Every structure is written in structure tokens, then in C-alpha cells.
Amino acid sequence: MSEEKKVSSNVVWHQATVDRQARETMNGHKSVILWFTGLSGSGKSTLAHAVEEKLHELKCRTYVLDGDNIRHGLCGDLGFSDQDRVENIRRIGEVAKLFLESGVISLTAFISPFRADRDNVRHITSDEDFFEIYCKCSLDICESRDVKGLYKKARAGEIKEFTGINSPYEEPLNPEVTVDTGTETLEESAEKVLNLLIERGIIQR
């Protein structure tokens, strides 16, 4: 479902004199993209913010890109068709890449239902920079939470193309981390993510 990357004509990339390595050195940690994916209600945003709090305590520079918040501005012109979902993730991927170059650890919390779109974000960066975190949670549990009342509306036919009900979610095949948000505590899941960052040499505790 991915599209060929479009590039504006008559533009040249300007190479900054202050580069990513210099920013990482100043920050005292490496920059990466932590990509939280999962069904609505699986706890993506909750976990992303919990991890950010722990990183903040370690004096890391971070920023959470949250799905709903982004759709209030940058992606406010998009709907929820397959085509719009693809464009939504493409834009977020490019923003996350900018944060990567700025030396910041970005945490993105998006359903991002299609594998191809998540893979495209990985490909515009690298395997070393992109950590896919699958917030695994059964549809039954996600629907029982229904924090925003969206599943109820989808079941009633008030929301079309809702992921998990009448639009597919493609589970990650080889995520860097899988957290079972249906059985694990928030602390346990957050520790899994932090341990990954320590093991990969991104941060130190």
C-alpha cells in the first residue's frame, strides 16, 4: 500500500554544519525512533508517555508524537481511508526522521495498521535507528477498554474503516520489542523498552 516517494523539483538538500553526531554528543545519548504500534486501546500512548517519563528522569531529550495530537494539526486534512492512513504515516515518518537528525529520542504512538508503511519509515532511516514496539493486546481487551468510545461507534456503524472492526491491522513480523499490554503492568512494559535501549547502547542508566 506504499507509494513511490515524491520529491519536489528544483530543491537541493542543505547539509547542516552542526550534525546529528554533534547533537548526540551534547545530549549525552544517541537518537532513535521508538515506533509504538497496535490496535486502538492497546495502550500505545500510555506506554510511550511512561517510557518518556523514565527517559526524562535520565536527562534524555525526548518527544512523543501522538496519533490524535498530530491529527489536530499536521494531518488534520486527512481522513481514515487506506490512502489517507498511508499518507498519515508517511508524514509522521518524515517528522520522526527530522527529530532523529536533531539528536532527540522520538516516541511515536500510532495504530499504523499496515506493515508496508512501518517498513517504509524504517527504510528512510535504518535498522539501527528504528525500533518497532508492538503493543500486543487482544481485540476483546481493547474493545472492553474502549477509552474513547470508538469501538462502540464502529460496532454501531457510526465509524467506517475502523481498524480491528472493518479495517485490517497487520501485526509486526519481527518487532524489536513485543509488550503484552493485556497482561503486563505498565511498569513491566516500560522496563522492556528501556532495557532494549540500554542493550543497544542508546542510553545509559
Residue 112 annotated as catalytic: yes
Q: Which residues contact 205 (CB under 8 A, 6 or more apart)?
A: 58, 194, 198
Q: Which of 42, 45, 112, 167 is catalytic?
A: 112
Please state the φ and ψ torsions of residue 151, each to the nearest 5 degrees.
-65, -40
d(CA 124, CA 126): 7
131, β-bridge pairs: 34
The residue type found at 109 is A
Find the distance separating the first CA and the last CA of the chain, reported in whole Å.
40
Q: What are the cell numbers at 92?
A: 509522521
Q: How many CB atoms lie within 10 A of CB 15?
A: 6
Q: What are the cell numbers at 162?
A: 475502523
Q: How many CB atoms lie within 10 A of CB 110?
A: 27
What are the residue numbers of the active site? Answer: 112
